[in-house]
Amino acid sequence: MPLRVAVDTNQFFSATILKRGHPFLLIEAWRNGRFLLVIGDYQRREIGRALAKPETLARYGVTEAERNDVLGAIEEGAESVKPVETLPLPVRDPKDEPILASALGGDADYLVTGDADLLVLDGDPRLGKLRIVTARAFLDLLRQQSAEEWERDDL
């Protein structure tokens, strides 16, 4: 059963504008079926808005085709989830609440983010099984998982 993973908007944004680095590798891992992306409607709209800003398009050279590719991949390859109505703990930045609510509503194993206001919550028992990690930490976990699967298959 694949890992259920929520990916913060900042990771999609970074992956799209930079096309390299940990966020890019994270999104590529998702596109290659390494985990199941869970996402709420609020975040779908947020990603679309972030990638449609004229200053983003001009400054980072994001094309309409690239924007549509990202949104189309989410539409086709992500599981739409209903966010929890009440969070089990306070969040420092209210703008992060919908992302955490979708991760919890989607029964995610991981929430991958670069946001310190979310990362500080990792390990809180009120989150249950949900771990909140950076893209680098999650990619390390995927590499370790692949190595273990390879070793099992090799036996």
* Residues 14-38: tens digit of each pLDDT: 999 999 999 999 999 999 999 999 9
120: number of CA atoms within 13 Å, CB side? 9
- With the CA atoms of 15, 5, 34 and 23 taken in that order, what torsion angle do they form, in degrees rounded to the nearest 10? 20
- Regarding pTM above 0.85, the answer is yes
Strand partners, 124: none
* Residues 106-138: tens digit of each pLDDT: 999 999 999 999 999 999 999 999 999 999 999
Q: Any idea which residue has 């990792």 for tokens?
A: 122
pLDDT score for 148 = 78
Q: Any idea which residue has 């970074």 for tokens?
A: 14
Lowest mean pLDDT among 86-95, 104-113, 139-148: 139-148
